[in-house]
Amino acid sequence: MSISETKKLPEIGEIVIVTVKEVTGHGAYVTLDEYDNLTAFLHISEIATGWIRNIERYVKLKQKTVLKVIRVNQARSEVDLSLKQVTGEEKKSKVIEVKKDEKGSAFMDIIKTKLGYDQNTIQEISDKLTQKYDFIYDAFEAVAVKGTEILSNMNLKPEVIEAIEHESKKIQIPHIEVRAVLEIIVKKGNGIDVIKNILTSVEGSKNNAKIDITYVGAPKYRITVTAENFKIAEKVLNQVIEKVKNNIEKNGGSFKFTREESKKTHTNI
């Protein structure tokens, strides 16, 4: 879906992006960015709960903000909006939606220029992408994560697929990183080598996750698992810990671990 398409009027309850064009004592006149800059009104009673001393504390001239549609008069093309009825989650979701639309459009403009296509051809490609994905950007992001195989059934020309792949490499995919500190002791003459071989055997990539092990200081080692979401990362971490534990105990060693706080990164797997 592309929110940049011009639509006639919004629906009641819809979350919209607006630009403030005039602030008055009774509220603010705004233009609806997604509706060909149609003028709508935000009444002072819908700006915030309670008495408002200064409207410009909440809305300022030329400011872009997220509002909710509360009334629509189809006959007169009049739209009334609310700021106070917009939840934090709705605002966040709308901002993400707009950013996706802008980035997707930018990618398609680059491909249009690179391949020398006209707008009709670009629109045909966009339509094919949005048959499977909500936003054009989502298709590029999917290619960044899973590769061009996800485009195989869309009847796209090889040059288009190559161009999409090239642009998708610009996307930084956020990943979840989970970590644990292992305390390992093997009381044998070759104990260090045993530990090293066991830890080396679990490093690398597994089930769309990257596994790294670093030396902290005897007898501690840190294991870090990076994946596209917490569920995958946690599953792989537990599997690796169990494998290391079993192998250490088979060699007569002692093993225990301590979990560390997980975090979001932009590390490529």
pLDDT at 205: 83
Structure pTM? 0.61
Tokens describing residue 33:
């960015």
Q: Give, in order, the Cα–Cα distances in Å from 56 to each of 20, 261, 268.
A: 11, 41, 43
Average pLDDT over residues 218-230: 90
Write the CA distances from 227 to 30, 214, 234, 267, 268, integer angstroms. 43, 18, 9, 9, 9
Mind listing the pLDDT tens digit for each residue in 181-199?
999 999 988 999 999 999 9
Distance CA 52, CA 176 (A): 42
Alpha-carbon torsion (157, 161, 167, 168), positive or negative? positive
pLDDT tens per residue across span 249-258: 999 999 999 9
- Distance from C-alpha of 23 to C-alpha of 60, rounded to nearest angstrom: 7
Instruction: Give residue-wise pLDDT tens across range 94-143.
Output: 999 999 999 999 999 999 999 999 999 999 999 999 999 999 999 999 99
Which DSSP helix (H) or strand (E) runs through 127?
helix 119-132
Identify the pLDDT of residue 264. 65
265 has pLDDT over 80? no
**Residue-range domains of the chain with CATH:** 15-85 (2.40.50.140), 89-168 (1.10.150.190), 175-260 (3.30.70.1130)
Decide if 227 contacts 209 (C-beta within 8 A): yes
Taking the chain, what is the end-to-end CA distance rounded to the nearest angstrom? 29
In the predicted structure, residue 40 carries a pLDDT above the cut 90: yes
Burial label, 191 (beta-carbon count in 10 A; 0-12, 13-18, 19+) = middle
Three-state DSSP class for residue 162 = helix
